[in-house]
Amino acid sequence: MKTRKLAMTSVMAALMCLAGMLLHWVSPALVPFSILPVLVFMSGIILGAEYAAMAMLVYLVLGLFGLPVFSAAPFGGVGYILKPTFGFLLGNVAAAYVVGRVYREGSLWWAIVGVLTGVVTLYLFGLSYLYIILHWVMHRPTSVAGVLMIGFVPFILGDLIKAGIAVWVGQEVVRRRKAA
Q: How far apart are CA 82 and CA 98, in angstroms?
A: 25
Q: Under 8 Å CB-to-CB from 36, ≥6 apart: which residues?
A: 16, 19, 20, 71, 92
pTM of the model: 0.93
Per-residue pLDDT, averaged over 34-40, amounts to 94
DSSP assigned state of 155: T
Number of independent structural domains in the chain: 1
Residue 18 CB neighbours (<10 A):
12
| CATH code for the domain of 110 | 1.10.1760.20
Q: How far apart are CA 125 and CA 98, in angstroms?
A: 13
pLDDT tens, position by position, 47-94: 999 999 999 999 999 999 999 998 877 889 999 999 999 999 999 999
Mean of all residue pLDDT scores within the chain? 93
Whether 146 and 87 have beta carbons less than 8 Å apart is answered as: no
Residue 24 structural domain: 2-179
Whether 135 and 8 have beta carbons less than 8 Å apart is answered as: no
